[in-house]
Structure 1
Amino acid sequence: MKTALVVRGGWDGHQPREATERFIPHLERNGFTVRVEEATEVYADADYMATVDLIMQANTMSTIDAAHLAGLTAAVRNGTGLGGWHGGIADSYRDSADYLHMIGGQFAHHAGIEPEKRIGEQSDNYLTHTIEIVPERRDHPIVAGLDDFELTTEQYWVLSDAYNDVLATTTIAARPFDAWQRPVVSPSVWTRQWGAGRVFVCTAGHRVEVLDHPSVRTIIERGLLWASR
């Protein structure tokens, strides 16, 4: 049996409990025993973390204690896999440079609909956009056999670096009312080797209906297994 640790919390708008419950059965079917924590204190338990093969994190817009972060980064560097989606991994601990360095991408923006159509709800940031599989990476086990697909949800613009292995991208349009003046290609799915550990990120997944999209769900299910020790 392998061991998976689920750490969830933060902003309720990302439905961390409902979202993670969608993938726990998948992990169990693939031979994992699963422990669920609603806070990051567990990361500081070095003896336990040494036994964890995979961390599935869904914790948005939070802060993390220095000891908890040190435990998390040490576990990944020693071979524990880390995976997640959307703000639960790419917008977790904005004030931690070490965390951002390990993840390889930080949420910066999601474009909105036309200003005159906004009503002050989450839907103000739901745009129809395409997730494009990187042609040269179509044989990667996380995206193999998948075609480009369309979503209507938040389109994440992330700040990233060239160390990522980018498997899919999305192109953010430049419209007359936007501050940027040309389209921007942003990574949507990537992996990152960190020490002996693997990191997997999928930026789609704002709410459970997005996670239920067949391609998004397939990417996340495969990505979690790929990241595991």
Structure 2
Amino acid sequence: MSQPTPTKRALIVRGGWDGHQPVEATNLFVPFLEANGFEVRIEESPAVYADADYLPTVDLIVQSNTMNTIEAAEFEGLRAAIEAGTGLAGWHGGIADSYRNNSDYLQMIGGQFAAHPGKHPSERVGEQSDNYLPHTIDMLPAAADHPITRGIGSFELTTEQYWVLHDDYLDVLATTTQAVRSWDPWTRPITSPAIWTRQWGEGRIFVSTPGHRVDILENPNVKTIIERGLLWASR
């Protein structure tokens, strides 16, 4: 079956911490984007955000760039494009823990990774799996009729469970609640947004905190939500 003639532009910006498999993770969604009429360009740094001629022509930015830095001109280009209608979408630390050095970026996204509380200290072995815990992604009533989450109920994952610092300008579709364990310093359960959208100027932003590595992105619920989120966010 032939691919449709591209009618939209998608820009993938990836990099940062390799533990989130930014190359493999973003490659997972390229065929989906192409099948939905996007011409896909891939960049390995946010430098492209400073291209004032190109960026405003992009319909969707897919970002997977964890614990990196962004220069002032790069962020200004990104923000201007989003405010003018370019969509921004991503998952996990690739969007919610991208540029800790830029508070304006944190404001625009609306949620910043703070922690992923892990197993009991005696069970930790110094690997990423130290932070893999079974938990529930709880769909909210707003998710029932939203095009990103329609037909998807609450589901279980065993992976990193993000504790997110956030504001109330988010349109939250799903949450997850951190338990209180005997070794934790907090004294009551903490509920964080797990899937949200956000309107920024004319642009739409979509974030899924599930998506630590490719195996989680291949979970049918997570994959469907992200694919729908990419289409929803696009101009």
Say yes or no: does 1:142 pair with 2:148: yes
Aligned: 1:39 with 2:45: yes
* TM-score of the superposed pair, with normalisation by structure 2: 0.97
Q: Indicate the residue corresponding to 2:223 in structure 1.
A: 217
Write the distance in 1 (CA, Å) between the matches of 2:47 and 2:166: 27
Give the counterpart of 1:98 among 99, 104, 112.
Answer: 104
Aligned to 1:4: 10
Task: Give me the whole-angstrom Cα distance separating, in 1, the residues matched to 2:188 and 2:124.
Answer: 23
CA-CA distance at 1:138 after TM superposition: 1.2
Partner secondary structure for residue 54 of structure 2 = helix
Aligned-residue offset at 1:112: 0.6
The SS at the match of 1:69 is helix
Amino acid in the other structure paired with 1:37: E
Deviations 1:65-97 (A, max 9, x none): 110010001100000000000000000001111
The equivalent position to 2:135 in structure 1, one of 117, 122, 129, is 129
Measured against aligned partners, the alpha-carbon deviations of 1:43-86 in whole angstroms (never above 9, x if no partner) come to: 00111011000000000000001100100011000000000000
Question: Post-superposition shift, 1:137?
Answer: 2.9
TM-score, normalising length: structure 1:
0.99
**Deviation string for 1:21-63 (max 9, x for gaps)?**
0001111000000000001111001110110000000000000
Q: What residue in structure 1 maps to residue 176 of structure 2?
A: 170
Picking from 69, 73, 87, the partner of 1:67 is 73
Deviations 1:107-147 (CA, angstroms, capped at 9, x unpaired): 00001101111001000000000001102331101000001
1:80 matched to 2:83? The reply is: no
Q: Matched residues in 2 for 1:165 and 1:50: separation?
A: 25
Report the Cα distance in structure 1 between the residues aligned to 2:142 and 2:205, rounded to whole angstroms. 20
Moved over 4 A (4+): none
5+ long unaligned stretches in structure 1: none
Counterpart for residue 119 of structure 1: 125
Task: Give the C-alpha shift of residue 174 in structure 1.
Answer: 0.8
What is the distance in 2 between the residues matched to 1:148 and 1:101? Answer: 28
Give aligned-pair identity as a percent.
68
**Match of residue 201, structure 1, among 178, 188, 207:** 207
Q: Secondary structure at the match of 2:199?
A: strand
Matching residue's letter, 1:226: W
* Matched length: 229
Aligned-partner SS, 2:24: helix
Q: What are the equivalent positions in structure 2 for 1:45-60 lying under 5 Å apart?
A: 45-60=51-66
Where does residue 194 of structure 2 map in the other structure? 188
Structure 2 CA distance, aligned partners of 1:128 and 1:15?
Answer: 21
1:2 and 1:135 mapped to 2: Cα distance?
32
Rounded to whole Å, the distance in 2 between the matches of 1:16 and 1:110 is 19
In 2: Cα distance, 1:164 partner to 1:80 partner: 18
Letter paired with 2:64 = A
Residue 8 of structure 1: CA displacement?
0.2
1:71 alignment partner, SS class: helix
